[in-house]
Amino acid sequence: MKIKKWMKWMWVPVLLAAAGVFIWWGFFAPAGKRFRLYDRVRETEVFSVPVKAGDQLRLEIEHSFEHIPWYEYYTIREDDQFNLDAIAVAGYGAGIPAEMDVPTRVEDGLVWMEDINSVFPCFKWITSAVYMKGLSLNGTEVFDFRTLPDASKILGEIINIRGNLTSVQH
């Protein structure tokens, strides 16, 4: 059976379309979000982890004077910013707010200040190898700040990834 000449070429548009979709998916399609810690002096990424809106970050700090635990709880917003939900600290005074204009309670030795709702587009920290402890994502510790050199200038931000094959940051 002879195939007509035009039938041989009818697959070309299909193959071109498939190639176009593959190139878009591999190099340009949205491929998720990551929370990353970036050293602003060395200009290097020190940590990154996949995240999504609604995930909770917990920052654990030790107060430098009182030497008591301090926890900050943030929720990742749809607009890739961070909402400070709550602070829990084992005391007050010496620079620790005794009571903010938010619901405050004492539980298990911690003073909880909740419904703070302060929004941060990113974090800019100068870290302490002694007093900045861990960063948790949804209840699991994912990074220990004590692994960084003291006084590291760290940027914490949400980045959008483009391309499933390249992970290009956008």
- The Cβ of residue 63 has, within 10 Å, a number of other Cβ atoms equal to 16
Beta-sheet pairing, 168-169 with 140-144: unpaired
Q: Is residue 54 part of a domain?
A: yes
The strand order across the sheet containing 110-120 reads 104-107, 110-120, 82-89, 69-76, 56-62, 132-137, 140-144
Chain mean pLDDT for the chain: 85
Q: Is residue 74 part of a domain?
A: yes
pLDDT at 96: 59
Q: What's the structural domain count of the chain?
A: 1
pLDDT at 77 over 90: yes
Q: Is residue 56 part of a domain?
A: yes
Confidence of residue 109 (pLDDT cuts 50, 70, 90): confident
Give the mean model confidence (pLDDT) for residues 110-133.
93
Q: Is residue 160 part of a domain?
A: yes
Q: Which residue has the higher pLDDT, 9 or 102?
A: 102
Q: Which whole-number Å values give the CA distances from 113 to 2, 90, 98, in the listed order? A: 80, 12, 9
Q: Is residue 1 part of a domain?
A: no
pLDDT at 30 over 70: no
pLDDT at 169 over 70: no
Q: Is residue 96 part of a domain?
A: yes
| Residue range 3-19, pLDDT digits in tens | 666 666 777 777 777 77
Which letter does DSSP use for residue 93 in this model?
B
Any bridge partners for residue 76, and if so which?
82
Q: Is residue 73 part of a domain?
A: yes
pLDDT at 162: 73
Distance CA 122, CA 103 (A): 25
What is the residue range of 79's domain? Answer: 6-169
Distance CA 153, CA 161 (A): 23
| Residue range 63-73, pLDDT digits in tens | 777 788 999 99
Q: Return the closest-CA partner of residue 45 out of 169, 130, 163, 164.
A: 169
pLDDT at 139: 97
pLDDT at 28: 65
Residue in the structure block whose two tokens are 């510790």: 141
